[in-house]
Structure 1
Amino acid sequence: MVSVNQERTPRKRTYLMSPPEHFAVEYAINPWMDTETPVDAGLALKQWEGLRETLAGLGHTVHVLPAEPGLPDMVYAANGAFVVDGVAYGARFRHEQRAAEATAHRAFYESGDWGFVAPSETNEGEGDFAYLPRAYGGLILAGYGFRTEPAAHAEAQEVLNRPAVSLRLVDPRFYHLDTALAALDDQRITYFPGAFSVASQKVLAQLFPDAVLADEVDAFAFGLNLVSDGRNVVLNSESTGLAGKLEAAGYTPVLVELGELKKGGGSVKCCVAELRP
């Protein structure tokens, strides 16, 4: 067990976000989306700005990718690529409604100092990939079952030169890995076991015996869809139980309200891509 008094060290991060200027629930491609439920666009933008200001206030750099008309889900910037050591492994979306987002993200990376690699396999970026640079020498955790194909895990491993561990998601409410698992620092994770197959649960328990386990209540509140700098953990304000567990493990919970963006099936992490130079 981790001592409550253990000192956690934050590390400055660089993030990419895209404002919800065109955000709406115009179709349903995950169980959380309901086209009959109205979206308050103004409130969504206000909550997004609050998240961006929170991250900047913690000392992190936040780049903004302009929103594009006709792409209501572009606010979920984590899905556009997966970046490790300056190399961006691009996304190839499962659903045609989001396909053009990949082009916008590719343009961002190719206009900068990033090595962009176009994917051959279907994957949705950091939605289904997590990276722990100090776990086992640098480890990719990769989800599949609903959006990303297992073949993309092998492709990411080759592109990024890091071993990838495939984890099967079995509950459609946790359609991306980042709704069920998150990196808390460079070698520790938090996750909800019930989102994964029995075999994947065993793999996670073996690899991460010190993980912080979330319960069903916080998992369904998108509590695991979080962003952490190694000490400060930014998560959905409804996830008070998980916040307590994180605090007991030595982290500092930072609660934010993202109720409008939850209507599209995402929360904090979905809105934030990490750019790892």
Structure 2
Amino acid sequence: MSTTEAAATTTRTAHRRRYLMCRPEHFTVNYSINPWMEPAKPTDTAKAVAQWQKLYDLYLELGHEVELIEPLAGYPDMVYTANGGFLIDGRAYVPKFRFEERAGEAPAFADWFRAHGYDTVIPEEVNEGEGDFLLVGDVILAGTGFRSTGDSHREVGEVFGREVVSLNLVDPRFYHLDTAIAVLDPVVAEGQSANIAYLSGAFDDASRAVLEERFPDAILVSDEDGSVFGLNSASDGYNVIISPRAKGFEVQLRERGYNPILIDLSELLLGGGGIKCCTLELRGAK
């Protein structure tokens, strides 16, 4: 039996998750800080809210807990809460955004974390939270190249006392790590390894070699699926919420025993964000 066939027979388990989201009441695209953002292209805030609501409702339907942070006028990207921090075991590492347009979001997230009992760490280094930091088992995968700096990789390792694996992003379309890697197993049983999916072409040669060595059974996603933010997905270990346009990825997930669920966030993609961007994992404090 091949590794892929063995993976397909694995029983996947859904784990209850706790997320932070922000209703896109002020969503628009009036500046450009990534290749997806075109201010001349019209956006529909009501449509963005309606699409976001379907994701929010689905999380509740699946049994997950969703907290909300109040959207701030003047910060249309605040809907992308994954950039609002990185949280493990009740400690929150706050972002320090690269672009001034988003800088005002950081204090709001820090205040929310403090109010909800997190040991809140204000960074010295430029980082964009779970956009560039992904927890895979006990290891932090950390992206750099466009937003978070390499120094933040050292800092996040010190904050959480975990091994950090640096990965260099080279394609500007995939400017955050969570656009190029999906963590499929947020909870890993003892003796097992976490599964990921990733887009090989988003990384330099050295990073690809690291991923191939550490995750030999990973799902390799096509550029076609990556370019519709197919990897910007959320998984509870069984249910994987993905873009309906990521057709190949949907098939790959089913082959591995996961249950892909399709949610269209096409309006929010105009701002360069998808399902994972709108979903910050809260680990620890209540």
1:63 aligned counterpart, secondary structure: strand
Q: 1:271 aligns with which of 266, 270, 278?
A: 278
1:56 Cα shift? 1.0
Deviations 1:207-240 (A, max 9, x none): 0001011000000010000000011001111111
Letter in 1 for 2:78: M
Question: CA RMSD for the aligned pairs?
Answer: 0.7
Rounded Cα–Cα distance in structure 2 between residues aligned with 1:98 and 1:39: 19
Match of 2:110 in 1: 106
Task: For 2:200, give the aligned amino acid.
Answer: P
Counting aligned pairs with the same residue, the percent is: 48
Cα deviations by residue, 1:76-104 (Å, 9 ceiling, x for unpaired): 00001000111111100000000011111
Query: Shift in Å at residue 198 of structure 1?
Result: 0.5
What is the match of residue 256 of structure 1? 263
Q: Distance in 1 between matches of 2:242 and 2:103?
A: 27
Cα separation, 2, equivalents of 1:236 and 1:87: 31
Equivalent residue pairs, number:
273
Q: Partner residue of 1:150?
A: 150
Q: Which residue of 1 aligns with 2:225?
A: 218
- Following TM superposition, by how much is the alpha carbon of 1:5 offset from its aligned partner in structure 2, in angstroms? 2.8
TM-score normalised by the chain length of structure 2: 0.94
AA of the residue aligned to 1:144: T
Of the three residues 192, 195, 205, the one matched with 1:198 is 205
Amino acid in the other structure paired with 1:119? P
Q: Is 1:97 paired with 2:105?
A: no
Partner of 2:55: 51
1:223-262 counterparts in 2 under 5 A? Answer: 223-262=230-269
> 1:167-189, CA deviations, whole angstroms, 9 ceiling, x for partnerless residues?
00000000000000011004111
Q: Aligned partners of 1:245, 1:222: CA distance in 2, in Å?
A: 15
Provide the C-alpha distance between the structure 2 equivalents of 1:85 and 1:182, rounded to a whole number of angstroms: 21
Q: Distance in 1 between matches of 2:104 and 2:283?
A: 23
Letter in structure 1 aligned against 2:139:
L
Aligned to 2:191: none
Unpaired stretches in structure 1, ≥5 consecutive residues: none
For residue 122 of structure 1, the aligned residue among 101, 107, 126 is 126
Q: What CA distance in whole angstroms lies between the structure 2 residues aligned with 1:205 and 1:276?
A: 28
2:260 match: secondary structure: strand
Q: CA deviation at 1:73?
A: 0.4
Aligned pair partner of 1:88 in 83, 86, 92 = 92
Q: What amino acid is the match of 2:133? A: F
Q: Distance in 2 between matches of 1:214 and 1:64?
A: 31
Letter of the 2:240 partner, please give it: V
Deviations 1:114-147 (A, max 9, x none): 11101000000000010022xxxx0000000000
Counterpart of 2:171 in structure 1 is 171
State the Cα distance separating 1:112 from its structure 2 match.
1.1
Partner secondary structure for residue 45 of structure 1? helix
What code does the residue aligned with 1:45 have?
A: V
Normalising by the residue count of structure 1, what TM-score does the alignment of the two structures yield?
A: 0.97
Structure 2 portions without partners, runs of 5+: 189-193
Cα distance in 1 between the residues matched to 2:209 and 2:218:
13
> Match of 1:254, as an amino acid?
I
